[in-house]
Amino acid sequence: MEVLLYLYIGLIGLCLGSFFNVVGLRLPKGNLWTRSRSYCPSCERTLKARDLYPVFSYIFLRGACRTCRAPISPLYPSVELMTATLFVFAYWQFGLTGEWVVSLILISLLMIVVVTDLRYMLIPDKLLLFFAPFLLVFRLFIAPFEFWWQPLLGSAVGFSLLLLIAIISKGGMGGGDIKLFAVLGLTLGWEKVLLTFMFACLIGALMGGILLLLKKVKRKQPIPFGPFIVAGALISYFYGMDLIHWYRAISGF
Ligand SMILES: [Zn+2]
């Protein structure tokens, strides 16, 4: 029966991932609820239900619009697959606990951030303001840290670290990144939010180098930092404490 449960969680992840794509595409334009049906941005044909199955439609249509054959961005099936995988992985990690719910809220926020940052190079305030209260309430009452003030400390640490970097780098860090770190801090705590930043920079430098080598980007071309923050936050959230304990053991710190 456990297998069925995993399958069910995966399916819900696929469908929600599909919804997160829509939210990520529409929220920055402010028309989340105005035009209810999805349409092809190239030929503007309204998509039918059979075009909208997460991942499966993309594979079946071989990554192109049914009518005009304009390519569909692989970002959409990727977000759907990532959401499903992370939902299942989080259940495998936490089981039916408060922490699992926190992880689902966090994953949802992060998946939408991937879409808005890759599409528009921004992380909307509305998005953070929507998720922050849920994360705070769950962190305080459902899956609390040892002390009640830890989420607040984490938030302050995340916010001030990024603000400092933004000031030093003279705008190398966007306002959205700073506010995202405030929200990450309250969910992860101060140690893991510092780790998140470290991982985000590492992965960003690595990916930036690879993209330069492959000539996918030009030197000095700004690359959205959001997806690297998302990757860093997920690694830190799921494996941060193991890494911190391991580091303390080998360094004696
Ligand atoms: Zn089309």
Render the burial of 48-60: b for 16+ CB within 10 Å, e for the rest: eeebebbbebbee
- Tens of pLDDT, residue by residue over 130-180, are 999 999 999 999 999 999 999 999 999 999 999 999 899 877 778 899 999
Report whether pLDDT(186) > 90.
Answer: yes
Average pLDDT over residues 193-211: 93
Average pLDDT over residues 192-196: 95
Measure 41 CA to ligand 1 centroid, in angstroms: 7
Measure 50 CA to ligand 1 centroid, in angstroms: 14
Measure 39 CA to ligand 1 centroid, in angstroms: 8
* pLDDT at res. 35: 60
HSE-up of residue 145 (Cα within 13 Å, Cβ side): 20
**CA torsion, points 120, 40, 47, 72, in degrees to nearest 10?**
-70
Phi and psi dihedrals of 163, rounded to 5?
A: -60, -45
- Tens of pLDDT, residue by residue over 61-91, are 999 999 999 999 999 999 999 999 999 999 9
Q: Between these two residues, 222 and 76, which has the higher pLDDT value?
A: 76
* pLDDT at res. 182: 97
Q: Above pLDDT 70, what percent of the chain?
A: 97
Report whether pLDDT(208) > 90.
Answer: no
* pLDDT at res. 30: 77
* pLDDT at res. 105: 97
Average pLDDT over residues 233-251: 90
Average pLDDT over residues 183-195: 95
d(CA 212, CA 210) in angstroms, rounded, equals 5
* pLDDT at res. 36: 66
* pLDDT at res. 40: 86
* pLDDT at res. 49: 85
Mean pLDDT, the chain, integer:
91
Which pLDDT band holds residue 18 (cuts at 50, 70, 90)? very high
Q: For residue 57, what are the contacts with CB-CB under 8 A and spacing of at least 6?
A: 50, 51
Measure 70 CA to ligand 1 centroid, in angstroms: 6
* pLDDT at res. 34: 62
Measure 66 CA to ligand 1 centroid, in angstroms: 7
Distance of CA 9 to the CA centre of its chain: 18
Q: Which of the 8 DSSP states describes residue 189?
A: -
For the chain, the structural domain boundaries read 1-96, 98-253
Measure 120 CA to ligand 1 centroid, in angstroms: 21
Q: Above pLDDT 90, what percent of the chain?
A: 66
- Tens of pLDDT, residue by residue over 31-58, are 676 666 788 888 888 888 888 888 999 9
Ligand 1 (ion): residues with CB under 5 Å are 40, 42-43, 65, 67-68, 70
Which pLDDT band holds residue 253 (cuts at 50, 70, 90)? low
d(CA 47, CA 92) in angstroms, rounded, equals 35
Weakest-pLDDT range from 30-34, 105-109, 158-162, 218-222: 30-34
CA-nearest of 90, 51, 50 to 70 is: 51
Measure 104 CA to ligand 1 centroid, in angstroms: 33
d(CA 114, CA 196) in angstroms, rounded, equals 15
